Structure 1
Amino acid sequence: MNNRKLILYSLGIGVIITLFIYFAFLEKEERNIINFISFLGTFISFAGLYIAYDQIIDLKQQNEATRNSVEMAVLIINQNEAKSDLVKAIKIIDEIQTSNQYEKYELSLLRMKDLKNILLQTLHNNKIKIHIEQSIFKQHLTNIGIDIANLNDLIIGRKKGINNAKLNSNLENLSTILNEIDSKLKFENYDRPKY
């Protein structure tokens, strides 16, 4: 039974009870329109309080459902953003390798810093963290830091050259790991048995 029917039934029963009290318990001299309106008004006041309470409970439930939906949407958005960050990191690695081939070390340095930032965020993302072997990932972060320092030294003139083979090897190994994580994230829902 929905709330409107319940309220209508309650009001009907309330009017009947009011009439019963009015005729059964009041002396003939006390039966007048003012006393009837007083009894009926008292009942309607209680009915109004019940309706207000019922609406507050409904609003509370709706707010809870809305809050849960918003939390789920935020979680999904964050997961999708994390996945897109992985793809972005892989593309940045490709850009860095291309920049190094053409000796565009300033651009390479900027993109390496972007890559490091994405990797740091990835390291602390709970959804992705379960797919990462922490020690290996931290070693890649250390390598990126060293490569950034070496590129910086090259750009400002403290070094005369850079080991492109080592730099590209580090980047290629990192790209492989990021691709593996991306694949795990894409297919993790398909690997679980459905019950």
Structure 2
Amino acid sequence: MVCGGFTCSKNSLCVLNLLYIMVSLLLIGVAAWGIGFGLISSLRVVGVAVAVGILLFLIALVGLIGAIKHHQVLLFFYMIILFLVFVVQFSVSCASLAINQDQQRELLEMGWNHTENARPDIEKHLNCCGFHSFNQNESCEATCFASHNCVTCGSIIEQHAQEVLRIVGGIGFFFSFTEILGVWLTYRYRNQKDPRANPSAFL
């Protein structure tokens, strides 16, 4: 059967969802590895990573079951959810690639102010204290704190933020197109008739 038929659409959709399952398990595994080796002590950061991984896993599982069984309802909800994920991810990726330096600095400072639990990890691994300034009376996990010769974390983070945003934006941009491919495959697959089914039956 030529590619574009029922079997090809089914297999393509199964492979795509297996890829999403592997990515979700990788995300959960990286979060567990980070906390296991002491790289991440913030339960909120780990919780967010695990929650995103589980959500992606569940979406991919729905798509995989729907593809295997040619289940119209599961495929419909999978298609809608995947399209919404595409819209959000595409928007975030474009924003990451288009952000200028002032907006980047403002977002980093806002993120720093809202991540009190993750600050010790950042200070420890970057060997820095504070964001733009640091009070010597405050505690700091960095090794340089003993000598009181620490640079601010903001200056280090800002050096690498542009590169990280480009990488994250590029990866998100790439995966957003795999999601729209999944939406298109699901739409086409839903409207194809199983050649092994009863010819007089409805789709």
- The question of a shared fold, defined as TM-score above 0.5 by the shorter chain, is answered with no
- Please state which structure has a larger fraction of its residues in helix: 1
The higher-RCO structure (CA 8 Å, 6+ apart) is 2
Max radius of gyration: which structure?
Answer: 1
